[in-house]
Amino acid sequence: METAQITHRSGLGKERTGRMRLLATVSFVLSSVVLGLAVGACASRGGGREAAPSLDPYSAHEARARITDARSDDPHVRRDAARDLGRIGGDEAAAALIPMLADADAEVAAEAAFALAISGAHNAAGRLVANLPADAPREVLAAAAMGLGNGAGDAFERALIRLAREFDAPPGVPNALFNHYRWRGRPAPMTLPDPILLTYAEHPEAEGRAGFGHLCRAVKDPAVIQPLVRLLTGEDSDDDPFGLSARFNSSVSEQAEYVEVMRAAAMGLARSTSAPWPDDGPARAALQKALSSGRPLVAIAACRALASYEDTAELLVPLLDARDFNVRVAAVQSLARLDADVANDRIAEMAVYDESVFVRGSAITALAELDPDHAYELTSQMMEDPAEFVRASACDALGGAPEAQADSATARLVALAVDDPHVRVRHSALAQLEGREGPLVDAAIARALRDDPDPVVVAVACGVVAADGMDALMPLVRAVPARFPGRDGGDARQGALDALGKLGAEGDHDLLRAYMADENPSVAMAAENALAVLAGVAAPTPRRAGVRGARSGVRRARDGTTGRDMLFFADDGGETNVHMVMETTRGTMTFALDHHAAPLHVAHVAAFAGRGGYDGLSWHRVVPDFVIQGGCPRGDGSGSAGVSLPLEPTRIPFERGTLGMPRSGHPDSGGCQLFVMHSRAPHLDVHYTAFGRLIDGNEVIDQIDVDDRILSVRIVIPIERFPPR
């Protein structure tokens, strides 16, 4: 299952009711100080608001300075000014950006278009499209589309459609519309909002055709079925189904484009349960053929799409023996989604003997849903598995134990939650206690709240208290924030405040108000949300943090974690020239880091790597055909190296090989973890910081398994070191 977000704790988010409940129990966050340089400056851009954000004095001063830079003779200075104005936001910044849309330097104009779209200024979407030159270069239109996809209001949808109609269908529009629909907070339309969008199925560029497939993941118009079938199967013939001989005898880059179009089309053909298509026969037949395309990413997308149809389980069983472990995982998860017990013995065998850690953990989780008795019988054996991920997954089997073993399973979960030496197992077991009753359960939750030293375990305990309405334990919840002060206790504080929002009383208002100014933005947001819930009003928009001292071209800052100078990179205004070489147990990957677009993230990752921070850490999360995620100091997806990095929106699309920074629900909660894309995910664009691209080691991405290791990370850069400020 592809998730809509990449969070610090999403490494625990395997496809299982209990595991998803663990995610719902509490949103893990980074504990933190914002590198000693970030202060509240920018308003949120994600909501696509029409009202201009008000600026604090510092941001107003910075805006004026950047407006001056926008008139520089140096195009690199103008480019940096445009980028910073977009992040500062406001009407004054927008007014300065509009004339830059016609800048003679296309890169400056593109940065201005993107910046205006995300600025949060009044009518930013309409003003952007209205002021684009008729002959705007391709990169400017691409930047405008990507930025507009970040907005949530109807004006952004109208602007994207206008962009498609008036500028000869820029290829990025469908991806941007998909992004818009995924984040706007209400359902996507049931039909394509404009006929121009149907023409993208025959767009001359692969990006446009693939974007059509992604758009159809949100818009389930029956009119899209035949175009999607054509994109998936090509010119079908008896001798050459899929036209594969033509597609895959082409160049490597063309092959990658074909794969992306096919997988996007397969995802677009997934059936909507709320409004199923009247005739899904052609879609089903095309997806069945795609299972044998010979391309793992296409097979995974088709497998997941078929799991949305009835009576397709038998088609997926052969994939359990696929060579690629990602395909095997997708098959196991899809069979569990279908609740199909057609291969339970094979899945049980995979849980015990498969060479892949990810397959073993996914198999026991699936078996817990498909055959609880069989899964429960395997739990003792699974708890002996050397992989912590598998043992944590075995808690799912205990949580789904049949009624006859319920008491025994509860006792075993309590013992694991209290005594297991591995944090990942403890909080997995604790989450499975949700919905269970009895003195053993109450005592285990109380002990975690009162005595467990781990903030993540305590956060999960707070979530169980809130979910089960355990009012008697609320005094212990109220004591949690004081027990976990500082940057390392943010998870626990947030969990407690979330619980207060559900079970709190009027007397908790003062406690909640005290944490509205917490140094951790996710904790502050939890306090504000809890107060809103208790008052019966809508939760406020998250307050964004701006970055002081780390704007484009400023190259010195102090790391708030260590108190040491950070390494910022020589800004010569040229192309990206900072490389990160990552040695893993599966091979070497080399990334080009964009220190112009994301100076804070690149500087922090480089500093962390320079201290050996990544050496020996695991890849704790893999989602087939989506992402690999690692670099967590704790190994469970909730570590942060004690910082909260502000979001740095960039124009780098989240496509295969893109390097990004996970975060929690608050935009300004990046830390030290890294994720690398298996494939295109337009809904992540702008909402997460993309700060690098893979330039060597493409084959390694698909080989990374859960619990594989990062052996070392080296930064190869021209650097300047500055004295303390």
pLDDT digits (tens, 9 = 90+) for 359-380: 999 999 999 999 999 999 999 9
- C-alpha 679/C-alpha 306 separation (Å) is 19
pLDDT band of residue 301 (cuts 50, 70, 90) is very high
β-partners of residue 39 are: 546
* pLDDT digit string, tens, across residues 86-118: 999 989 999 999 999 999 999 999 999 999 999
- DSSP structural state of residue 53: P
The residues that bridge with 660 in the sheet, in sequence order, are: 675, 690
Confidence of residue 572 (pLDDT cuts 50, 70, 90): low
The confidence band for 185, taking pLDDT boundaries of 50, 70 and 90, is confident
Determine the average pLDDT of the residues in 143-169.
96
- Rounded to the nearest angstrom, the gap between the alpha carbon of residue 709 and the centroid of all alpha carbons in its chain is 21
Bigger pLDDT: 219 or 43? 219
Question: What's the 3-state SS for 385-438?
Answer: CCCHHHHHHHHHHHHCCCHHHHHHHHHHHHHHHHHCCCHHHHHHHHHCCCCCCC
CA distance 95 to 86: 11
What is the rounded distance in angstroms from the CA atom of residue 340 to the CA atom of residue 520? 44
Range among 42-51, 65-74, 204-213 rated most confident: 204-213
**Residue 40: predicted pLDDT:** 29
Instruction: Please say if the pLDDT value at position 522 is more than 80.
Output: yes
More confident residue, 46 or 574: 574
- Contacts of 433 by beta carbon, 8 Å cutoff, 6+ apart: 410, 413, 414, 417, 441, 444, 445, 464
pLDDT at 131 over 90: yes
**Alpha-carbon distance values, 508 to 303, 497, 499, 538, 725 (Å):** 48, 10, 11, 18, 41
Evaluate if residue 22 carries a pLDDT over 60.
no
Burial (CB < 10 A; 0-12, 13-18, 19+), residue 245, is exposed
SS3 474: helix
**Residue count (the chain):** 725
| Residue 66 token pair | 């950047």
Between the CA atoms of 531, 534, 539 and 545, what dihedral angle is there, to the nearest 10 degrees? 10
Crossing angle between the packed helical segments 124-131 and 106-118, to the nearest 10 degrees: 160
Q: 667 CB contacts (<8 Å, ≥6 apart)?
A: 44, 46, 542, 544, 646, 647, 687
Cβ atoms of residues 493 and 515 within 8 Å? yes
CA–CA distance, 11 with 619 (Å, rounded to integer): 9
Mean residue pLDDT across the chain: 86
Numbers of helices and strands, H then E, in the chain: 31, 12
**Cβ–Cβ under 8 Å, residues 335 and 342:** yes
What pLDDT score does 644 carry?
85
Q: Return d(Cα 609, Cα 715) in angstroms, integer.
A: 7
HSE-up of 361 (CA within 13 Å, CB side)?
A: 29
Radius of gyration of the chain (CA): 25
Specify the residue for token string 């992989």.
Answer: 387
Residue carrying the six token digits 């082409």: 250
* Surface-to-core class of residue 505, CB atoms within 10 Å of its CB (0-12 exposed, 13-18 middle, 19+ buried): exposed
Q: CA 233 to CA 262: how far, in whole Å?
A: 8
C-alpha distances out from residue 278 to 225, 364, 645, Å: 11, 36, 47
DSSP 52: P
Q: State the Cα–Cα distance between residues 586 and 699, nearest whole angstrom.
A: 9
Does residue 413 surpass a pLDDT of 50? yes
Contact between 493 and 480 under an 8 Å Cβ cutoff? The reply is yes
Confidence of residue 710 (pLDDT cuts 50, 70, 90): very high
The 3 state secondary structure assigned to 330-342 is: HHHHHHHHHCCCC
DSSP conformational letter for 704? -
The answer to whether 48 and 156 have CB atoms below 8 angstroms apart is yes
Over residues 218-222, the mean pLDDT reads 95
Confidence of residue 665 (pLDDT cuts 50, 70, 90): confident
Q: Tokens for 392?
A: 């944590």
Q: Angle at which helices 252-268 and 206-218 pack, to 10 degrees?
A: 20
Tokens of 658: 């893109």
Cβ 30 vs Cβ 520: under 8 Å: yes
The distance of Cα 550 from the centroid of its chain, to the nearest Å, equals 24
Q: How confident is the model at residue 541 (pLDDT cuts 50, 70, 90)?
A: confident
Distance between CA atoms of residues 523 and 529, nearest Å: 10
Which residue from 688, 680, 706 is spatially nearest to 651, judged by alpha carbons?
688
Write b or e for each residue in 634-657: b if 16 or more Cβ atoms lie within 10 A of its Cβ, otherwise e: bbbbbbbbbbbbbbbbbbbbbbbb
Q: Are 569 and 718 in contact (CB under 8 A)?
A: yes
**723: its two tokens:** 């004295």
Q: Are 58 and 80 in contact (CB under 8 A)?
A: no
Cβ-count burial 118-145 (b if 16+ within 10 Å, e if not): bbbbebbbebbbebbeeebeebbbbbbb
Q: How do 658-661 and 674-677 pair as beta strands?
A: antiparallel
- pLDDT of the residue at 540: 78
**pLDDT digit string, tens, across residues 267-287:** 999 999 888 888 899 999 999
Q: How far apart are CA 178 and CA 307, in angstroms?
A: 21
Can you tell me the mean pLDDT for 403-417?
94
Mean per-residue pLDDT for 565-583?
67
Give the three-class secondary structure for 138.
helix
Q: Answer yes or no: is pLDDT of 252 > 80.
A: no
DSSP label at residue 455: H
Q: What is the DSSP letter of 544?
A: P
pLDDT at 550 over 90: no
- Global pTM reads 0.88
DSSP tag of 216: H
Euclidean distance between CA atoms 661 and 597, whole angstroms: 14
> Tell me, what DSSP letter sits at residue 558?
B
Cα gap 226→198, rounded to integer Å: 11
Burial (CB count <10 Å: 0-12, 13-18, 19+), residue 205: middle
